[in-house]
A and B are shown apart, each in its own frame.
Chain A
Amino acid sequence: MVLDDPTTRPAPRSRARTDAPWQHDVEQDDLEHIGKPIRKVDARSKVSGLTRFADDLTLPRMLHMKLLRSTVAHAEIVHIDTRQAAALPGVKGVLTGKDLPIPFGILPVSQDEHALCPDRVRFVGDPVVAIAATEEETAWNACRLVEVEYRELRTIGGIHEAAANDEPRLHDYGVRGNIHRLENLEFGDLADGFAKADHVRQDTFFFEGNTHLPMEQHATLAHFDKDGKLTVWSSTQTPHYLHKALARTLHPLPAHHIRVIACPNGGGFGGKSDPFNHEIAAAKMSMLTGRPVKIALTREEVFWCHRGRHPVLMRAKVGVSKTGRITALDFHSYLDGGAYGSYGTASTFYTGALQTVTYAVDNYHFRGARFFTNKAPCGPKRGHGTPQPRFALEVQLDKIACDLGLDPARIRLDNLAPRDSLTANFLRIGSMGLGTCIEKVVAGSGWNTRRGKLGRQKNGRYRGLGLACSSYLSGAGLPIYWNGMPHSGVQLKLDRSGLVTAFCGSTDIGQGSDSVLGWIIGEVLGIDPLGIKVVTADTDLTPVDLGSYSSRVTVMTGNAAMQAAERARDIVADGVAAKLGVPAGRLVFAAERVFDSEDPAKGMTWQEAVCAAEAKSGTIGTVGSYSPPPSAAKFRGGGVGPSPSYSYSAAVVEVEVDAETGIYTVPKVWMAHDIGRALNAAVAMGQIEGSVYMGLGEAMMEEMAYRDRTHKGNRIFVHKIPSLLEYKSPTTLEMPEVVTYVVEDPDRNGPFGAKEVGQGPLLPMMPAVANAIFDAVGVRVDEVPVSFEKVFAALQAKQAGKEPRFGPANDATGVPAVDFGESLKIKTPWQGGDGTAWNEPKREKKAAK
């Protein structure tokens, strides 16, 4: 049965086998599948409701688990009494912190979480007791019967409060007080850079935290079977890291007795990248009760899981020449990390790392501080740590263009980071299509004729255009834990039926990573991608892939798949060559056939080819793996930022502002995204449009708002709006018209030249909206979200003759006073630097494991 209409397929074109094993000529344009709008491998299941998400799974005798969570923001646990709960009919298991004493955390440097808090709770929502029962209602009712006695501690509510109060410390590790991390990196000669500047600006910005809000609430099903093996199905983006966390916390259960299967994620966006307390508790509960245990979080609990965008205060000082060329940048960021470490160390570095990748910054000083506060922990959300500084710098550049009377598009084009270069902080840029991106959106939006001239419309509202740019990683250059093993592995099995099965640890979170495997392997072997079977995200069956985060999958999994496929092709070619009596190098793999490029009639079907190869070489299986190129940055902290390649984006946003109220709409967006090469046109478009959407939400409305009240001496500190109704996200009615430009500047490190797609274009949305508001009504909102009330406040300030701005205090009081200590000083490549800090204390070299 033909399930998909073959008429949408391109006509097959022959392609000679390349000589190098997996270095493809990225300029070749005779690709059969790559770049075409082929359906995703799971498209039919997804439109039929047949995709099984974690909460769709059930097992016989399955118990339902609920977590009792802290109702106070910061307290010591004095006493827990679970006797009444345990006695409730239907309750089969009760766990508290003492049952899971081993801490965990995504990063080796911050193993600061417990599945159930043993002695201390750090935010409203921290889990304390887990109860499993035959019915979910029973477990919920039983949770209400638990008595927990707390001794409340002072609550640390935000960045300024954390900086001012060393006590009580949320954690007994970190730099000091409630400072989790301090980074201080200096590249080049700042004094010289600012001395060369004709104009220096200093601004303060604030980016409020927001969350991923995946439509699927996290769910986990755990089954500890009678053979002593544990299987955990979960909505996780990182089955490998969950596997590690389970092996650690469930000690002495051996790691090889644990199997993690990541179900298709109903949206992740970074929010399912940490190992979570509920996953570990469900596993332990299954071990305790000997029955399958499921937990499906409520929407409110998803807000407690969080790991979303850090609230970041920023102070940026930038020097430019008369023509707007950046001479020096001094950037401070202050991150509100919430209650736990999570990815926070990486997040802190990411607020500083990519400044040099978008625009050339010859002299750069970055200081970053992350604080612990009594909020749901922050972590990686789409763009991880980079949207906040991007907002600050893109708005600041707009202000500078304004100060100097320059075109905001021109000033960006004049500052582009050069392609094939090393940045001041030793990041290696390969392909770089930002210039093209800017030109596309400038032309498309009519920027040169419309900017600054739209003004008042017939309906009394004011229109304006704003432009902003960004860059983003194609995966992190280093793994989360130090090791020398590949970041991604793919195994291929070729069957006599002609079936090719790809095994890979990568996880499809909706971005299409399963399909990426199919497209690449199908292209290399000349077979239908939809005929390839893809087995992913199962730690028993699939080789490790680190997970779906930091836009790493297309490049890393893609390269591994390519290597495995090319090795398979070589084996098949040997078999076919022997049978046909043709040199292997002359064989073409296309259109489900293997044939002689000089006599296309001479050949065989793919299935015959596999059989010929199996007859010659035996059972056919190949592997491919990928590790990113070594980083040029050797200073401490240089591990965050390197990537095989960087994507680029430019956006122009049009806004329409009601000057009487500050209410505005975004009628149209022009977005250009340099992704190296689109592996699948339609899917790449979807990623870009999704980024525009999510960025628009962050720009206009999304925020993790907290209620901070004191009553009778007790402080109440709780998320204000943990619901889909009140945590505002854009609906069909807010989504603007989007003109998308897919810019293809192939990169040598990517499969077929591909780079990341889908995180980068989120970044320019927030600053472009703020810049467009300025173009429309002449006020600055230096804070995200750029909500209506802030636009209104800035308009009122303007009316009152004050600075037409809303944002944190634009002087040294806007940010906390933090002693960052001495900076690590790194000579830039053009100063003759070798990537090390000349004042860094010598460290013992750790061997890769």
Chain B
Amino acid sequence: MPAVAGPAAQPHSRPFIRPGAPAIVLAPMTEPGKVLATFHVNGEPHEVAFPPHKTLLEVLREELNLTGTKHGCELGECGTCTVQVDGVPILSCLMLAVDAVGRPVQTVEGLADGPQLTELQHALADLGAAQCGYCTPGILMTAEALLRDNDRPTREQIRQCLAGNLCRCTGYLKIFEAVELAAARCRGEQAEPSKESIHGS
């Protein structure tokens, strides 16, 4: 990939030309200093023109209007902006959007299959594990990756897996229980929340 310049640094750099575009370009296809690129988000291509200093978080929220991905610090300190790139949960506030081009990006909006929620989404809803719901997308993107690799995670593995996702509402317990419940349901078990977790001891 050639160097791509931001607007202030090199205001008149050559625009990045879309592959497959006609050989003769009559007019610039993007503003100077912007990159034109195709993102593969939730299985769909999205063509976006954006300056190269934009993070994946900014492009998802502000260019693609996928506002399900949240932000709480923009410094990698909270986990609310977690998305999956190549199936790996990462902090979208610390990844340049250009580095996500050509790689599958998965956001919370793409989890459900049509109206059908994932087992983890169902479990979080059943247990009231999304209170304000602000950390929930990040939690989902992190924990879904865990469940993909491990269909029987222990409580300790769940704790460790979510040790980069802050939540201020739930005290995490309903989230842990939801991951366990979802894992059991994914294994085909007729699992229900325990009486203690719903009604107390």
Contact = CB atoms under 8 A, between A and B. Distances in A.
Given A444-B201, A512-B131, A732-B162, A299 B72 contact: yes
A800 interface: no
A93 interface: no
B124 interface: yes
Contacts of B166: 215, 724, 729, 731
Interface of A: 1, 3, 8, 37, 39-40, 42-53, 55-56, 58, 212-217, 264-269, 298-299, 444, 509-512, 678, 680-683, 685-686, 688-694, 723-725, 729, 731-733, 735, 738-742
A186 B62 CA distance: 58
Given A216-B70, A681-B199, A39 B125 contact: yes
B131 A686 contact: yes
Interface in B142-184: 158-160, 162-163, 165-174, 176
Contacts of B130: 43, 46-47
B44 interface: no
A738 B77 CA distance: 26
B80 A215 contact: yes
A40 B43 CA distance: 30
Given A37-B193, A738-B173, A739-B196, 8 more contacts: A43-B124, A214-B168, A510-B134, A681-B200, A694-B171, A723-B75, A723-B77, A732-B160
Contact of A47 (B78, B136, B160, B163): B136
B125 A725 contact: no
A397 B197 CA distance: 32
A764 to B, nearest CB: 15
B133 to A, nearest CB: 3
A46 B133 contact: yes
B133 A510 contact: yes
Contacts of A8: 126
B96 interface: no
B68 interface: yes
Interface of B: 61-62, 65-75, 77-78, 80, 107-109, 111-112, 115, 117, 121-122, 124-137, 140, 158-160, 162-163, 165-174, 176, 193, 196-201
A53 B168 contact: no
B173 A689 contact: yes
Given A43-B128, A266-B133, A690-B131, A50 B68 contact: yes
A732 B163 contact: yes
Nearest 5 CB-CB pairings of A with B: A49-B68, A510-B132, A693-B171, A266-B134, A46-B133
17 contacts: A37-B193, A39-B125, A47-B117, A48-B121, A49-B69, A49-B140, A56-B67, A215-B70, A268-B132, A510-B131, A512-B128, A682-B193, A686-B169, A689-B170, A692-B171, A693-B168, A731-B166
Nearest to A268: B132
A191 B140 CA distance: 60
Contact of A724 (B77, B111, B171): B77
A238 to B, nearest CB: 16
Contacts of A55: 67, 71
A48 B68 contact: yes
Contacts of B65: 58
A49 B68 CA distance: 4
